[in-house]
Amino acid sequence: MAEHPSDLRTPLGRVRFLGAARTGTTDAWFIHVTSIALIPLTVGFVWLILDLLRKDYNGVRAELARPIPAILLLAFVLAGIVHMELGMRSIIVDYINGQSRAWALAANTLFAALLAVACVYATLRIAFT
């Protein structure tokens, strides 16, 4: 195996096929897994929304009080938020350098966490009241 002068990996890292940060493959797999999970969840979500469009407010509350629609909605929202956070993390790591990268990563994680909490709270509030 010929070594390239621009290759920054250690010999052990080359054998294990690990990049310099050792996390890129894991993030890529999580992005792929969430995107595959979002395919059936999106179909179910669209079906649920089309069903809810025909109902008034009380009908929507009654429908979301049932466990299957509420779980479907929560699974779709949470998988989408995880997928969004991982994708934005990948973009931030690729295109932002220096001290601003740490701030951007922190802001990305905070935004995703706040969005997840707000969506879960809203869904559970509708489901249980």
Is residue 60 within 8 A of residue 52, CB to CB? The reply is yes
Domain boundaries, given as residue ranges, for the chain: 23-128
Find out whether 83 and 35 touch, Cβ atoms under 8 Å.
yes
Hey, which CATH number is domain 23-128, 2.70.70.10, 1.10.260.40, 3.40.309.10, 1.20.1300.10? 1.20.1300.10
pTM for the model stands at 0.79
Instruction: For residues 28-49, give the mean pLDDT.
Output: 95
Joined together, the tokens standing for residue 109 give: 């994680």
pLDDT tens by residue, 54-94: 999 999 999 999 999 999 999 999 999 999 999 999 999 98
User: pLDDT at position 16, please?
Assistant: 64
